[in-house]
Amino acid sequence: MTAKVALVTGGSKGVGQGIAVGLGEAGWTVHVSGRDPERLQETVDRVGAAGGHGVAHGCEHTDDGDVQRLVAEVHGSAGRLDLLVNNAWAGPGMNHVKPERLWERPLSDWDTLISVGLRAHYVATHTAAPLMIDQGSGLIVNISSVGTRAYLHSTLYGISKAGLDKMTHDAALELRQYGVTVLSLWPGLVRTKQLLASGVDNIAGVPVTDAETPELQGRVLAAIAADPDLHSHTGEVFITAEAAQAYGVTEPDGGSPVSPRLMFGGGPIFPPLPPA
């Protein structure tokens, strides 16, 4: 059976690299994009070691044309695109332990949190959608955050993630008749190299000891993508920890993650899509 093809934007480190590795464990061909060739190669090597096939692509995600070129290049190389993971993100150096208020932050935060964290995802989705419509299938996953509902990091961070989840909901509405599924994934606190090197012991009241691994995100996405009833969930938000429990997915060490749902008081993100 031919391996399924994924594109993970921002796949050179952190959550993006973990997603690529988790998909590689499931035998996927994983294309990853970013600006650092050495880090991209590290991801490609890890995907290969996990049992998949990795391919690196340089991309400047602030450039609409480069994002469009990336998506078209990946689709052209394999003749299809089964999964687009919108993950590219540029953090503007926020204080995650003691967040600064919006008037204390520079206006340039917009250029990273919105131009990369929202616009680049929209451009990639805009480019991938007709390709997936033509093939009659496909999955688009936006890596969002509990920051949609809970205050986290900064006001603008919440704006960017809420916009991303609204894009998930409305794009799902427009694409569902064509067999294309759109979802958001909310990781909990993730145990990236950057987080571990920071010396911080908790963020927003969540202990680092409860943090998820980057690889768990990819394992969960592989399980979601393999669900024969996947399309019935289009437009929904999946919380990584809860999806892991539902699909029987564990951390690399066998542990189970803790859901961050209490951070926003529970309840749904969006109601189900209205009848077609």
Write the pLDDT tens digit of every residue in 221-231. Answer: 999 999 999 99
User: Kind of pairing, strands 206-207 and 202-203?
Assistant: antiparallel
Is residue 38 very low, low, confident or very high in pLDDT (cuts 50, 70, 90)?
A: very high
What are the CA-CA distances from residue 230 to residues 91, 95, 110, 210, 241 (Å)? 31, 37, 34, 28, 18
Cβ atoms of residues 36 and 58 within 8 Å: no
The predicted model gives 65-78 an average pLDDT of 97
CATH number listed for the domain at residues 5-264? 3.40.50.720
Among all residues, which ones are annotated catalytic? 157
Is residue 267 scored above 80 in pLDDT? no
At 1-18, the pLDDT tens digits run 478 999 999 999 999 999
What are the angstrom distances between the C-alpha of 67 and each of 5, 34, 169, 179?
A: 17, 10, 22, 23
Reported pTM: 0.93
According to the model, what pLDDT value does residue 34 have?
A: 96
Instruction: Tell whether the model's pLDDT for residue 140 goes beyond 60.
Output: yes
259 within 8 A of 242, measured Cβ to Cβ: yes
Token readout for 105 is: 């932050």
Mean pLDDT of 167-182: 97
**Confidence at residue 94, expressed as pLDDT on a 0 to 100 scale:** 65
What percent of the chain is modeled with pLDDT above 70?
90
Least confident interval from 10-14, 78-82, 193-197, 239-243: 193-197
- Report the alpha-carbon distance of residue 159 to residue 114 in Å, rounded: 8
* φ, ψ dihedrals at 201, nearest 5°: -100, -15
Cα 86 from Cα 91, distance rounded (Å): 15
State both tokens at 236. Answer: 């929904």
Q: What letter does residue 134 receive in the DSSP assignment?
A: H
CA–CA distance, 80 with 101 (Å, rounded to integer): 44
